[in-house]
């Protein structure tokens, strides 16, 4: 009889918890208080998991039955996994810089914390996923860590602000579906670049210089753009010590003695110009109108653009419309077809969207233009175009660790970069 009462009591808790969760979700939906969705998790911990001592302010009248060791470990691990999953999904997540596209602003081996709440956390598109991993199971090369059996529409909770120009933004790689078509949006590869264009901006690159709305890009003190330079000495060669002193790690020796192609910042360029044995320091620029780079967005003969001379083009804003023609359709084709999920046909008599001829198109999302600070060694929007708002992950906050694999001993840690804010 006693066991029956205990069973009925536990069953009542389960029913009550489910009933409360349903009613609470309806309430939160009606008041648009999305952050309150987490409340049932607290209630669940009180009723079932009992991981936290919610009655720490008073002495318990009756001591509860002590859990077995395995049960205690299981409960602790379960709660830790749930808490960590909530934390990295909705609040903050750690990332690592794997490439040099943001040198010298961000270095290979920098470990970052990225805020999900700065722009508002995304509700996961793919809720059925292995916890605490991204798209591939650890220890495997191609085993997915998710199931796409359930796919939710894009929704972003309210955040502390909006993406601003020059923010360092983590986002899902828009062109990842070419290499991994099986990955949903939130499981695409993570990239980090600097947002140089927000919705409505007009962008143009002239001889490597970026112009935003007709004005030169605002360069802050912490931004360190880099470019490819031709460097000619009087025959002397650069020592590795000299290059390391100026944090120069990218470049190559050319065929002629004393000639180099190096990736330099503006500071490097000024310093090198003062060296007596250096005869020339000249930026390598792909000239406008000479030859179209077939890798450059929008990959159309109508646009003779390259990495150093590009645009002008307007970054689409939600709710704005654009007139369509046979030339600019290639700029917006991916937006219409892939990001906003319409059928698109280009015929001799016109452009058809969802089976109807279309002379214009109204955007359903905001879009952004992302570029790396290492301008001549960065796979960015110049190659794959706009970044949709549903691909945005969060804002890079600060560096909590920086590891230089090429250094030795204690110098492997870049001590001067620890806990530096990211600008």
Q: Examine the domain organization and report whether 106 and 186 are in the same domain.
A: yes
Q: Average pLDDT of 140-164?
A: 92
Q: In sequence order, which ranges of 227-334 are alpha helices (DSSP H)? A: 240-245, 266-272, 329-334
In a domain, 73, yes or no: no
Over 80: is that where the pLDDT of 362 sits?
A: yes
- We report the CATH number of the domain holding residue 232 as 3.30.70
Q: Is residue 236 part of a domain?
A: yes
pLDDT (average), residues 302-321: 95
- Tens of pLDDT, residue by residue over 171-199, are 999 999 888 999 999 999 999 999 999 99
Is the same domain home to 379 and 335? no
The CATH number covering residue 380 comes to 2.10.109.10
- Residues 407, 318: Cα–Cα separation, whole Å: 47
Q: Are 154 and 136 found together in one domain?
A: yes
Considering just the CA atoms, what is the radius of gyration of the chain in Å? Answer: 27
User: Does residue 95 sit in the same domain as residue 195?
Assistant: yes
Q: How many domains does the chain have?
A: 4
Q: What is the per-residue DSSP string for 199-219? A: TT-EEEEETTEEEETTEEPPP
Q: How many residues does the chain have?
A: 423
Indicate if 172 and 270 belong to the same structural domain: no
**For residue 351, what pLDDT is reported?**
96
Of these ranges, 220-229, 251-260, 299-308, the one predicted with the greatest mean pLDDT is 299-308
Look at residues 262, 283, 304 and tell me which one is the last residue of a structural domain: 283
The model's pLDDT over 227-251, given as tens digits with 9 standing for 90+, comes to: 999 999 888 888 777 787 788 888 8
Lowest mean pLDDT among 34-38, 122-126, 137-141, 405-409: 34-38
- pLDDT-derived band at 276 (thresholds 50, 70, 90) equals confident
Q: What's the whole-number mean pLDDT along residues 265-270? A: 85
Question: How far apart are alpha carbons 41 and 22 in whole angstroms?
Answer: 13
**For residues 294 and 383, is the Cβ–Cβ distance under 8 A?**
no
103 & 196 share domain: yes
Percent of the chain with pLDDT over 70: 83
Residue 126 sits in the same domain as residue 94: yes
List own/partner pairs for 283-286 with CB under 8 A and 24 or more apart: 283/208, 283/227, 283/228, 283/229, 283/230, 284/227, 284/228, 284/229, 284/230, 284/376, 285/207, 285/208
Beta strands in 68-223 (DSSP E): 92-96, 110-115, 168-172, 190-197, 202-206, 209-212, 215-216
At 330, the pLDDT band (50, 70, 90 cuts) reads very high
What is the C-alpha separation between 173 and 192, in angstroms, rounded? 9
Closest CA to 118 of 395, 393, 370, 423: 395
Residue 105 shares a structural domain with residue 21: no
CA separation for the pair 217, 65 (Å, rounded)? 66
Task: Give residue 350's domain range.
Answer: 321-362
For residue range 25-69, list pLDDT tens digits in order.
655 555 455 555 566 666 666 655 555 554 544 455 555 566 666
Q: For the chain, give the mean pLDDT.
A: 85
- Position 129 scores a pLDDT of 92
**pLDDT tens digits, 366-384:** 999 999 999 999 999 999 9
Q: Please report whether residue 212 resides in a domain.
A: no
Higher-scoring residue by pLDDT: 369, 10? 369
Q: In whole angstroms, give the CA distance from residue 413 to residue 392.
A: 30
Within a domain: residue 77?
no
Instruction: Give strand ranges (E) for 290-366.
Output: 310-314, 321-323, 344-347, 350-353, 356-357, 360-362
Report the pLDDT value the prediction gives residue 8, as an integer from 0 to 100: 47
pLDDT at 4 over 50: no
Q: Which residue shows structure tokens 């090429």?
A: 406
Name which residue leads in pLDDT, 10 or 293. Answer: 293
Cα 361 to Cα 73, 74, 233, 320, 331: the distances in Å are: 56, 54, 55, 8, 12
Domain annotation covers residue 215: no
Q: Are 311 and 305 in contact (CB under 8 A)?
A: yes
Percent of the residues in the chain that have a pLDDT greater than 90, as a whole number: 55
Looking at the structure, tell me whether residues 176 and 127 fall in a common domain. yes
pLDDT band at 408 (very low <50, low <70, confident <90, very high): confident
Please tell me whether residues 357 and 374 are part of one structural domain.
Answer: no
Q: 74-132, pLDDT tens digit by residue? A: 776 777 777 788 888 888 899 999 999 998 889 999 999 999 999 999 999 999 998 88
- Residue 206 belongs to a domain: no
How far is residue 346's CA from residue 350's CA, in Å, rounded to a whole number? 6
Is residue 326 helix, strand or coil? coil
């Amino acid at each position: 009889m006693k066991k029956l009462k205990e069973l009925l009591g536990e069953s009542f808790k389960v029913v009550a918890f489910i009933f409360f969760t349903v009613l609470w979700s309806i309430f939160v939906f009606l008041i648009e208080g999305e952050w309150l969705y987490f409340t049932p998790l607290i209630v669940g911990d009180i009723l079932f998991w009992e991981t936290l001592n919610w009655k720490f302010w008073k002495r318990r009248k009756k001591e509860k039955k002590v859990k077995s060791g395995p049960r205690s470990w299981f409960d602790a691990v379960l709660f830790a996994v749930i808490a960590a999953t909530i934390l990295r999904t909705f609040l903050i997540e750690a990332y690592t810089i794997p490439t040099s596209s943001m040198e010298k602003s961000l270095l290979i081996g920098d470990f970052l914390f990225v805020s999900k709440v700065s722009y508002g956390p995304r509700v996961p598109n793919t809720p059925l996923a292995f916890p605490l991993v991204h798209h591939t199971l650890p220890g495997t090369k191609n085993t997915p860590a998710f199931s796409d059996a359930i796919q939710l529409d894009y929704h972003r909770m309210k955040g502390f602000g909006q993406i601003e120009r020059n923010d360092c933004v983590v986002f899902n790689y828009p062109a990842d579906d070419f290499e991994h078509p099986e990955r949903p949006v939130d499981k695409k590869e993570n990239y980090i670049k600097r947002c140089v264009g927000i919705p409505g901006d007009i962008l143009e690159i002239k001889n490597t210089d970026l112009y935003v709305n007709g004005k030169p890009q605002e360069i802050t003190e912490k931004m360190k753009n880099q470019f490819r330079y031709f460097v000619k000495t009087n025959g002397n060669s650069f020592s590795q010590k000299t290059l390391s002193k100026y944090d120069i790690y990218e470049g190559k020796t050319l065929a002629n003695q004393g000639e180099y192609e190096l990736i330099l910042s503006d500071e490097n360029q000024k310093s090198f110009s003062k060296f007596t044995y250096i005869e020339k320091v000249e930026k390598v620029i792909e000239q406008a109108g000479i030859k179209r780079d077939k890798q450059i967005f929008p990959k159309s003969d109508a646009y003779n653009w390259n990495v150093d001379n590009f645009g002008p083009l307007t970054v689409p804003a939600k709710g704005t419309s654009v007139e369509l023609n046979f030339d600019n359709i290639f700029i917006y084709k991916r937006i219409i077809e892939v990001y906003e999920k319409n059928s698109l046909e280009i015929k001799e008599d016109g452009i058809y969207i969802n089976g109807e001829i279309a002379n214009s198109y109204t955007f359903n999302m905001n879009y952004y233009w992302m570029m790396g600070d290492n301008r001549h060694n960065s796979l960015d929007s110049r190659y794959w175009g706009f970044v949709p708002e549903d691909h945005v992950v969060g804002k890079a906050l600060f560096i909590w660790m920086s590891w230089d694999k090429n250094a030795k001993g204690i110098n492997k840690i870049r001590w001067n970069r620890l806990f530096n804010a990211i600008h």
